[in-house]
């Protein structure tokens, strides 16, 4: 009987495979983050360059800024949770690849350190200083050149009266991703052992029942409640509590672990559409009729409890829908996604610097907010693409911005003469 159970669990355990849909979803998610960051000039976040900087210095902040934050919260409900879900799934497949090729874990960790932490460290000591300079100039805190400002950048911590951005502004994601994946790595490796597969097969089978997959959001909901009650003065990074991302990462690993989780996602697709619509309507109604309570009043009450619940259900529903659509339509080999996926990390690293630099000048034009947003979006996108085309051609830049260094990767390759058959014969 035991042998039968073990054989059954082995059949449902996910073997090594290439998930091209995860590459596509990674590309789509980074673009969602880009769209969101282009709105940062107009929202209620007191940091970064602002369209009306006087409101963020002498107050009060315009009501329209809070309303924009309410609207963009739909994007933050999806963006980084999807990133961590994808990261968890990717870790599962990466560990399977390491096992098959007999590659040691320390090499995997070293590669991730080079691609995540090295760009993070380079960023906080160099170009992130430009973000602080632009913000402080925009708000009238300083009036000097960037080169005069840079030596003062290291005096004190940003957010605590100083300028040094120890978390790297948007680069915090690189540090947190490396930290969480490194901490979870021993557990994820341990859970791949044969003795756990039967238990996870039973757990996965349970979640194939309608709506049961929504039980997974309970720990995330608890973390968000705790944050609202006791950590209200600490900003939610990317719209979520710091520890909520650990759960998204772990659930991503689970979704890849057993084939029945994939079935569970498919079985809950239609239900997720219904829950997604209902929760979206609930969020819209609360943003309309309880706007002051949710966005202007720091106290925590039953409206806040309901709002967090609706937001988490909305987020989870969207994640299930997106993962299903990706699995169905995007899980195909493509040269396009191979190229784009390689550029995801450098895109993330440079995008906010470009957006902030462009926005710094655009907001001074005093156009309509929508016109300013479109200009920031379009000019930044062109600038980012231009920089990416440059970065991918030089190994030094590839290293700085988290790309793999390649043996034959130089713009000079376009000018190299290809050997003809006659040349080869002569050389022989």
Task: Give average pLDDT by consecutive 10-residue segment, the chain, 428 residues.
Answer: 49 84 96 94 85 63 69 90 97 94 93 97 97 95 95 93 93 96 95 92 94 97 91 82 95 96 96 98 90 73 89 98 96 93 97 97 91 96 98 96 80 53 39
pLDDT recorded at residue 170: 95
3-state SS of the chain: helix, strand, coil percent to 5?
75, 0, 25
Q: Are 41 and 48 in contact (CB under 8 A)?
A: yes
Tokens matching residue 216:
């997974």
Q: Are 73 and 239 in contact (CB under 8 A)?
A: yes
Domain ranges in the chain are: 2-427
pLDDT recorded at residue 13: 83
pLDDT recorded at residue 340: 96
Distance CA 260, CA 423 (A): 56
pLDDT recorded at residue 236: 83
Q: Is residue 42 reached through a cis peptide bond, with omega within 30 degrees of 0 on the bond before it?
A: no
- Please give the helix or strand (H or E) that residue 174 lies within, else none: helix 172-191
pLDDT recorded at residue 5: 43
Largest CA distance in the chain: 83
């Amino acid at each position: 009987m035991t042998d039968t159970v073990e054989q059954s669990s082995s059949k449902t355990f996910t073997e090594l495979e290439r998930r091209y849909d995860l590459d596509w979803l990674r590309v789509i998610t980074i673009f969602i983050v880009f769209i969101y960051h282009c709105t940062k000039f107009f929202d209620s976040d007191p940091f970064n360059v602002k369209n009306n900087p006087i409101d963020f210095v002498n107050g009060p902040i315009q009501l329209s800024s809070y309303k924009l934050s309410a609207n963009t919260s739909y994007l933050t409900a999806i963006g980084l949770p999807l990133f961590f879900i994808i990261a968890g799934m990717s870790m599962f497949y990466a560990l399977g690849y390491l096992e098959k090729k007999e590659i040691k874990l320390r090499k995997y960790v070293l590669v991730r350190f080079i691609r995540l932490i090295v760009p993070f460290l380079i960023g906080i000591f160099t170009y992130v200083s430009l973000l602080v300079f632009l913000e402080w100039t925009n708000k009238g805190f300083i009036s000097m050149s960037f080169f005069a400002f840079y030596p003062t950048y290291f005096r004190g911590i940003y957010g605590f009266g100083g300028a040094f951005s120890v978390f790297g502004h948007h680069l915090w994601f690189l540090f947190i991703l490396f930290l969480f994946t490194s901490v979870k790595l021993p557990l994820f490796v341990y859970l791949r052992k044969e003795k756990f597969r039967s238990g996870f097969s039973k757990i996965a089978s349970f979640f194939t029942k309608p709506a049961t997959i929504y039980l997974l959001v309970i720990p995330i909901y608890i973390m968000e409640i705790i944050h609202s009650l006791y950590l209200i003065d600490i900003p939610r990074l990317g719209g979520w509590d710091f520890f909520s991302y650990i759960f998204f990462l772990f659930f991503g690993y689970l979704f890849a672990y057993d084939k029945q989780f994939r079935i569970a996602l498919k079985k809950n697709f239609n239900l997720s559409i219904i829950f997604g619509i209902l929760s979206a309507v609930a969020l819209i109604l609360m943003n309309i009729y309880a706007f002051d309570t949710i966005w202007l009043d720091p106290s925590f009450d039953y409206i806040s409890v309901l709002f967090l619940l609706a937001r988490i259900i909305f987020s989870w529903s969207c994640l299930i829908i997106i993962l299903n659509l990706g699995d169905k339509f995007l899980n195909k080999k493509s040269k396009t996604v191979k190229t784009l996926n390689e550029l995801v990390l450098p895109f993330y690293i440079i995008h906010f610097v470009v957006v902030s630099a462009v926005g710094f000048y655009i907001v001074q034009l005093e156009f309509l907010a929508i016109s300013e947003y479109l200009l920031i979006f379009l000019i930044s996108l062109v600038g980012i693409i231009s920089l990416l085309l440059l970065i991918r051609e030089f190994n030094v830049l590839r290293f700085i911005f988290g790309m793999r260094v390649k043996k034959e990767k130089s713009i000079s390759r376009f000018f190299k003469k290809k050997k003809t058959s006659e040349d080869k014969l002569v050389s022989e």
